[in-house]
Amino acid sequence: MAVSTLPQQEAMIRIKHELSEYLGKQLKLSTVKSRGVLWECEGTLEEIYPNLFVLDVEENDEPRKISYSYADILTKTIKLVCCDTGESVFPWLPDRY
């Protein structure tokens, strides 16, 4: 079912449920930072909470944790791709970039 036909709350529940299947797996995160700069990193999906999820990433050889909300996925602020398969974690959401 296309995202445009899902009510927003149901889409958020679906995102959380599908993301939970990737716990402990490597994901590639892409987002557009300030001034339109594309930022990408790879990390392990470490935790899932009711309103956000946490990725353990290594940036400039320094480990750190970053968190995003499920709304960031729904609004296409971020894009997640599975490192093992190279496929989008949420193929039913249209790409932003």
Question: At residue 3, does pLDDT exceed 70?
Answer: no
pTM for this structure? 0.84
Residue 8 pLDDT: 84
Position with higher pLDDT, 17 vs 96: 17
What is the fold of 23-90?
SH3 type barrels. (2.30.30)
Domain positions in the chain are 23-90
Mean pLDDT of 6-29: 92
Spatial contact of 55 and 29, defined as CB atoms under 8 Å apart: yes
Answer whether residue 4 shows pLDDT above 70: no
pLDDT tens sequence across 24-75: 999 999 998 888 899 999 999 999 999 999 999 988 889 999 999 999 999 8
Residue 60 CA to residue 67 CA, distance in Å, equals 18
Higher pLDDT, 54 or 94: 54
Phi, psi of 66 (to 5 degrees): -125, 145
